Amino acid sequence: MGRSYFTITEITDLGPFIVKLVLPMTANVKAEAVKPACFNVYAERKNKQGELLMLPKSWSEREVLLPSKGYCAVKDAYPSGPDGKRREEGTFVTLELRNRPFDITSRIAAPNGMNEFVVTDCRITQIAEIPAEGETLTGLVFDQCAGDAMKQAEKFLHGVSSYEAEPLAYGYFVPQTGSGRRPLIIWLHGGGEGGQDPAVAYAGNKAVNLASDEIQAKFGGAFVLVPQAPTFWMDDGSGEYGRSGKSRYGKALKALIDEFIARNDAAIDTGRIYIGGCSNGGFMTMRMVLDYPDFFAAAYPVCEALYDEVISDAEIESIKQMPIWFVHSKDDVVVKPEETAVPTYERLIKAGAANVHFSLFDKVIDLHGLFTDEKGEPYTYNGHFSWVYALNDDCRLDYDGNPVLAKGKEVTLMEWLAMQHRSTAAPI
């Protein structure tokens, strides 16, 4: 048996990845003695029963199953404290890993069709000598994970609604800034993040960014509520994906939202309830807006999957005063915008909607230097992943390609959202 190590996980645009391995050393080491080439890292992803997972090769090659194991690239190595922060010398060494989409460093996978946290077993082997105080370190092996830190997720608490007919699990964030009554931002997860672990609902993609200091500042502090469907939001009771436009979870979701607001009655501004979500969650965003048109202050559906064919003209009339900002990508072949968001948006505009916007991208590209392709260029995501733009607050342009303006200035999606209020009669 080898020595213990610790992992540090970061929630990225593609969910949680192990970004650092923290290794307790037997002696104090200095920066000049530690290099990435001193170690190799082998990892296997397993289910909770300890069985090696066979997982799809990629998003587009889901029928090709490969064993989830292999070597991880170490991009940096340095002395640190137990927190993994760089030091000039220390009794810990931190290895920074190079993450790639669908890599073995990802902490979630969908072995049964739904995303879940998996067990990542690492074996870190020292393959080059490291001079240290009073000795030379050699041949150390680390293969016992002693714990993980996932700071972004630590901000979230969990609960279960008391709606007897269909209790729903949820994660939530309580604002740490601002005072008085503050808004509530609701995020509805995609089709792969259902189940009974709310952490998957907010960590399966970067929904935790709604609780980041940057986005919280735009709202003056805001509650964040992330409900989780036991199956998926588009489940109309059949357990199948279809085009009915119905959901078995509508009343249960509204009951959860009402209960959460009641429990935080003195702190939530009920005139600033914002609802959004991606794919299945975008579908449910539209479903909730149509079913409760006078409840929400604004909506931000992303790659929404409510087929326009099931929305009546009367329903369009009922929501044309609702502030809505659609987000989609033209190359989305999972939820085709020409069947969902595009015709719905055009009908709303034709009906006289004055505060409805639509950021329609050509494709989804990494704008923040997180992932690169084989040529070192910014990574191009699957066209369905337009939530990457929404959750990073990169949406600025409207359907006509011009910036969205509010009160005479250019605004991002989140800046615009923070300005909306249910009592506002005219668009701002």
Residues found in the chain: 428
Residue 304 lies in a domain: yes
CATH assignment at residue 281: 3.40.50.1820
Residue 427 lies in a domain: no
Do residues 224 and 358 both lie within one domain? yes
Count of CB atoms situated within 10 Å of the CB of 122: 21
Amino acid making up residue 249:
Y
Phi and psi for 205 in degrees, rounded to 5? -135, -155
Residue 425 pLDDT: 38
Residue 62 pLDDT: 77
How does pLDDT run across 59-118, given as a tens digit for each residue? 777 788 899 999 999 999 999 999 999 999 999 999 999 999 888 999 999 888 899 999
Do residues 335 and 392 both lie within one domain? yes
User: pLDDT (tens digit, 0 to 9) for every residue of the chain, 428 residues total?
Assistant: 689 999 999 999 999 999 999 999 999 999 999 999 999 999 999 998 999 999 887 777 778 889 999 999 999 999 999 999 999 999 999 999 999 988 899 999 988 889 999 999 999 999 999 999 889 999 999 999 999 999 999 999 999 999 999 999 999 999 998 889 999 999 999 999 999 999 999 999 999 999 999 999 999 999 999 999 999 999 999 999 989 999 999 999 999 999 999 999 999 999 999 999 999 999 999 999 999 999 999 999 999 999 999 999 999 999 999 999 999 999 999 999 999 999 999 999 999 999 999 999 999 999 999 999 888 899 999 999 999 999 999 999 999 999 999 999 999 999 999 999 997 433 43
SS3 content of the chain, % helix, strand, coil (to 5): 20, 35, 45
Do residues 101 and 223 both lie within one domain? no
How far apart CA 395 and CA 327 sit, in angstroms, is 8
Residue 63 pLDDT: 82
Do residues 325 and 257 both lie within one domain? yes
Do residues 172 and 53 both lie within one domain? no
Confidence (pTM): 0.95
- Full residue range of the structural domain in which residue 114 is found: 3-149
How far apart CA 363 and CA 328 sit, in angstroms, is 9
Do residues 307 and 160 both lie within one domain? yes
Of 149, 168, 187, the residue at which a domain comes to its end is: 149
* Structural domains in the chain (count): 2
Residue 133 lies in a domain: yes
**Matching residue, tokens 């189940």:** 195
How far apart CA 99 and CA 119 sit, in angstroms, is 17
Residue 425 lies in a domain: no
CATH assignment at residue 29: 2.60.40.2180
185 membership: H or E segment, kind and range: strand 182-188
Residue 373 pLDDT: 87
Residue 61 pLDDT: 79
Give strand ranges (E) for 264-366.
268-278, 298-302, 324-329, 356-361
Residue 115 pLDDT: 94
Do residues 87 and 106 both lie within one domain? yes
Of 149, 164, 185, the residue at which a domain comes to its end is: 149
Do residues 234 and 87 both lie within one domain? no
Residue 111 pLDDT: 87
Determine the distance from the C-alpha atom of residue 141 to the mean position of all C-alpha atoms in its chain, rounded to a whole number: 34
Do residues 125 and 247 both lie within one domain? no
Residue 56 pLDDT: 83
Of 149, 173, 192, the residue at which a domain comes to its end is: 149
Residue 426 pLDDT: 38
Residue 142 pLDDT: 98
Residue 44 lies in a domain: yes
Residue 426 lies in a domain: no
Do residues 30 and 67 both lie within one domain? yes
How far apart CA 215 and CA 227 sit, in angstroms, is 20
Paired with 141 in beta bridges are 125
Residue 298 lies in a domain: yes
The b-or-e profile of 219-241 (16+ CB within 10 A means b, else e) is bebbbbbbbbbeebbbbbeeeee
Residue 374 pLDDT: 86
Do residues 281 and 190 both lie within one domain? yes
Do residues 162 and 84 both lie within one domain? no
> Would you list the DSSP string of 4-45?
EEEEEEEEETTEEEEEEEEEEEEEEEEGGG--GGGEEEEEEE
